[in-house]
Structure 1
């Protein structure tokens, strides 16, 4: 299994959110267990995505945390991120692998065993699987698959499965029991009154 942090923090760039403040709180707690996925709103410019990703890379480096860029792989290359993540409407996995190169971390979204196995065959490092639970942080998502959906995917592949979608500290044990290697969060940290404490609780739930 590749060396990959178990807690994935996806940047929340919706109005009123401060993704860098959340990251600054989480990094000293999670350190190398943290993977930061830079995700921006669809209407954000490439320059905006680049500037955010560049700052995230700089913040992650002293802690040994991993920075990935979602969707915009040219931005990942431009800021020398560790890799990227592609969703269902982004570049196909095989094409993304060619763009990023053999040594990069590449994640892809999956929700059922067949698609997950195909993504692994095409070269992913890990899979983001979900949505596990209902979430309001991203519109247009399919119905939640729950821990059993995660179990079905985890049993079909040999790469780390990162459960995503409405993940909270309380839901981590069931997701880990279903075979998830780690979890990805947005609102659990961006809406927390104490992101550092919530990060510590998530790390404890993931590693106990």
Structure 2
């Protein structure tokens, strides 16, 4: 299992950038404390996705912050990204691992307790549970699991795989602390940082909330 810092996981989607360049937003988010960046694009053609991913990888090269690609193992390979994040209907994690190699970071979306239980047999480095709250940045057929549902699924995912657990969907500075208290090792955000005017400042504010909540949880254990 590869080490991955999920504390503040920024997801860059061209639909949710306010028309600003993804590379500039990635740099700003990392300057504010993002620990992981994902590039997600559900509509562009593959060649442009590879070009965008390469530009993001180059922008992050000196920061030490990994770049993951949403869904597309082929784009991750072509762009030299650090790994992928897969959904339940994307390429199987075992196949992705064979193609990407042992050092690639592979994450997996988990929506149910049954899916969490299955992670014990999968070569994943983290899971991301959601949606926790309602969100406008993605169409979710399933209702939000809420904090109680998240806590229950996260417990089973951590027990099954031993991998860190992130939370996604509708997470902001107002509720991030409660999500960490419910058992998340970090949060994945899109519009909460990439649709604000000052990306670095808002990322820094959110990171401080997360770090404080993680410390409080450690002290309570």
1:24 partnered with 2:27? yes
1:141 Cα deviation from its structure 2 partner: 3.8
1:17 Cα deviation from its structure 2 partner: 3.1
Deviation readout 1:139-158 (Å, 9 max, x if unpaired): 24421111112211221122
Residue 183 of structure 1 corresponds to 187
Deviation readout 1:113-142 (Å, 9 max, x if unpaired): 220231342111001110011101112442
Residue 47 of structure 2 corresponds to 47
Partner SS for 1:14: helix
Distance 1:163 1:89, change over 3 A: same
Deviation readout 1:84-114 (Å, 9 max, x if unpaired): 0111221122222222222211001002222
1:29 Cα deviation from its structure 2 partner: 2.1
Partner SS for 2:15: coil
Contact 1:93 1:119 in 2 (8 A): no
Partner SS for 1:169: coil
Deviation readout 1:15-45 (Å, 9 max, x if unpaired): 7432333212112221xx521111112x311
Gaps of at least 5 residues in structure 1 are none
Aligned positions of 1:168-179 closer than 5 A: 168-179=172-183
Residue 11 of structure 1 corresponds to 12
Residue 154 of structure 1 corresponds to 154
- Give the Cα separation in 2 of the matches to 1:180 and 1:66: 20
1:167 partnered with 2:168? no
Partner SS for 1:23: helix
When structure 1 is superposed on structure 2, of 117-126 and 68-77 the one drifting more is: 117-126
RCO higher in 1 or 2 (8 Å CA, sep ≥ 6)?
2
Contact 2:29 2:203 in 1 (8 A): yes
Structure 1 ranges of 4+ moved more than 6 A: none
1:201 partnered with 2:202? no
- Give the Cα separation in 2 of the matches to 1:12 and 1:75: 15
- Across the aligned residues of Structure 1 and Structure 2, the Cα RMSD in angstroms comes to 1.6
- Give the Cα separation in 1 of the matches to 2:102 and 2:62: 25
When the two structures are aligned, how many residues end up with a matched partner?
Answer: 205
